[in-house]
Structures are given as C-alpha cells and as structure tokens.
Amino acid sequence: MAKVMRKMWPLLVLGFLVNTAYSVMWPLTTIYLHGDLHLNLVQSGLILAAYSGCNVLGGYIGGVLTDRYSARFVGLAMLAVLLIDAGVGFIWNGLIAYPIVLVIFGLLTGGMLTLITAITAQLGTDGRLFNLLYIFINVGLVVGTASIGLLFRHSLRPIFALLIGCYGLALILWAKCAGKFEQRSLSFDVKNDQTAVRQPRIKQQLTKVGLGVLLLTLIFMWVTYAQWMSNVSVFIQNEGLSIKLYSYLWVYNGILLIVIQTLMARVNHPRVVPWQILMGLVAIGGSFLLLSGASSVVVLFGAMTLLTFGEAVYVPGVPALINAHTVGNEGLYQGLVNAFSSLGKALGPVLGGVVISYSTSFSLLFSLCAVVDGVIAICFLVGIWPIISRREG
C-alpha cells in the first residue's frame, strides 16, 4: 500500500486537515454551550441537533455534487466558505453568533467528508483504502482533541485560529492537487497496484433491505456514540473529575484508532468486513455496560478502549461493504453513509439530554445505549445474512 499512499497523499492530508478542525470543535460544543453560555442539556442538545441536521444535509448534498460536478470546484467552494465561517467565529462567538457559525460548520464539514470518502470509493473496492484514509483522519482526531487542553481557556478564539490555519492549508492543497482525483481523469488505478488486493467487484449486490439495515445501524450506533461526544463530558464533571481527563480520553482514542487501523490495513479482506462490523457494534455496546457500573479513571479508559476498538472496525467497515456491493454513484452512496451517520449524531445529544432530564440518571442512559447497540447488532446480522451466506457458500 506504500505506492498507493504516495499517489493519494493529497487526499489523505486533506482528510487529516478537515478532521483536525472537526475534532477540535465538537468536544467543546456541549462544554461551551452548557458551561460558558449557561444553556441546559436539552437546549444544548437542540443546538447540537441543528448542527448535526445540517451535517446530514451537507453529507447528502456533498455526495450528489461530487457525482455531478468537478470535485476540485466543489471542494474549493466548500473550503472557502469554511475559512470565512471560521473567521466570523473568531470575531463573534456569543450566544447568537456561535450556533449560526456551528450550523454552517456542520453543513460544510459534512460535505467535505463525503467528498473525501466518495473519491476514495472511486479509486477501487479494496477495503484497505478506507482503512488508510481513516488512519489519517484519526491522526487529525488526535491533533484536534489534544489541542483542546492547550488552546481552550474559556475563549474560542484560539480554537477558531486553528480552524483558519487548517482550512487555509487545505484550500491551497486542494487547489494544487485536486486535478489528479477528478473522477473521469484519474491518473492511477488502485487495482493496477501490485501491492493492492486484486479483488473484482463482488457480484452479490446489496438489496434495498440490506442497504436500509446498514444505514439504520449507522443512525442508532451514532445515537449511542454521540453520548461520548456530548453527555459523557458532563458526566465526568459531575463525578468531580477534571475536564482535562475528557480531553486525554479522546487523545487516547485517536492514538489507539491509528494503531488498530494500521494493523487492519495490512490484513483486511472483503470476506471479513461483515464480521468486523458486527464485532464493532458489540464492542461499542460493551463500552456503555462498563460506564453504567462505575466511574473511576480506570473504568473510563477501559470503556474508551472498547469504544475505540468498536469504532475502528465498524466505521470504515460500513462504507467498504457498501462500496463492494454497489456499482457506480459512489458520491451518492457515501453521501448516504455520512448523512445517516450525522443524523444519529444529531439525535443522540437530544435523546440523551431528555433521558438525563427526566431520570437524572447517567447509569440508565448508558444501560439503554448498551441495549440499543445489542439490538442493532442482531438486526444487522439478519439483514446482511444473504451476503454472508453467499460468501461462505
């Protein structure tokens, strides 16, 4: 894969820069809305829902635009508006301005992440391409979350300054290198690379039911995962633990993701993708079981270990499985993946906030999340069984 990495490095660096900006923003959102702007969890959750709802729309629109128009033009337009949005947020980030900046950020970030995954899908059906992309995306996660403890002191200006730097570099990079990734003028084909797995596109296509089941697992998985991205930060503070611990947990998450996905990039095979998705759902559910029982630092890191393993095998597995069992319209399908993921992220903080408001119990919330992940794991196995049985046969 080293040869492939050298040829697709602009796309990998673009994913790193976009996700660095994304990862420095979302962990702070609930903390800033709840702690600095003094909104309750339901109000914060509604703003997060609006943000993630625009992320859903952006993911879908980004996929359609990537299929129909120049990826270079679409990417440059979105990056330019993101740069302006970050500049506005640097100056104005109060109770009115911050939610508006956040919504625009969500819309265009969804579009950019879809563009990146759609172009990756156009390069071939080898699932290791997505693992390679997610390695660089998760390096961005590490850098972004690690920057929070260094930059955030109850002021978002240093955060927005980092965003301005990321989007400025991304804009320059994509202006210079986007041409080689245009859909109809790719200068290389991953399938011709001797280091890539020579796998023909699998003939067994996803049924509408199978695709629907996959997309629904994305919604419900991200509903539960979003608790880590929002309400777990409040849970940690309520337990008397430092908010720096929350930042360290995400740094640990990013480092562990890189390690796991680097190993997966060496051994990944299309036949095991359905099973890795199933294992991921079970592991994510297990992380909430741990959280529901105790709140010590050791338990938090143990739960994050399970969450990270589940994320590492589930998140790249879904787009790889869809790409291997569909033909054409990569932007549309990858846009659906990002849109349904964002929908789950939108619903998660709101539903979590409602559960906590009515029950005042984080333990109940985490137990419900574990049950949801277990149920969707079973539904996934039933919905995808025709593909699994055909491969085993």
The secondary structure of 261-317, three-state, reads HHHHHHHCCHHHHHHHHHHHHHHHHHHHHHHHHCCCHHHHHHHHHHHHHHHHHHCCH
The rounded percent of the chain whose pLDDT value lies above 70 is: 87
What tokens were used for 265? 């990039």
What tokens were used for 216? 């629904």
Look at residues 17, 167, 173 and name the one whose alpha carbon lies nearest to residue 85.
167
- Within 10 Å of residue 10's Cβ, how many Cβ atoms? 17
Which strand (E) or helix (H) includes residue 4?
helix 2-7
Q: What is the pLDDT of residue 194?
A: 45
pTM: 0.74
Place of tokens 């409040």: 234
Cα–Cα distance between 82 and 104 in angstroms, integer? Answer: 8
pLDDT digits (tens, 9 = 90+) for 26-55: 777 777 887 777 787 778 778 877 887 888
Q: What is the gyration radius of the CA atoms in the chain, in angstroms?
A: 20
Tell whether the torsion through CA atoms of 252, 253, 254 and 255 is positive or negative: positive
pLDDT digits (tens, 9 = 90+) for 260-275: 888 876 666 667 788 8
CB 322 within 8 A of CB 201: no
Cα–Cα distance between 37 and 32 in angstroms, integer? Answer: 6
Catalogue all structural domains in the chain, each as residue range(s) with its CATH number.
7-181+204-392 (1.20.1250.20)
Q: What is the pLDDT of residue 195?
A: 44
Mean pLDDT of the chain: 82
Look at residues 267, 270, 209 and name the one whose alpha carbon lies nearest to residue 392.
270
pLDDT digits (tens, 9 = 90+) for 201-239: 444 566 778 888 889 999 999 999 989 987 888 888 888
pLDDT digits (tens, 9 = 90+) for 164-199: 999 999 999 999 888 777 644 344 444 444 444 444
pLDDT at 318 over 70: yes
Q: What is the pLDDT of residue 96?
A: 86
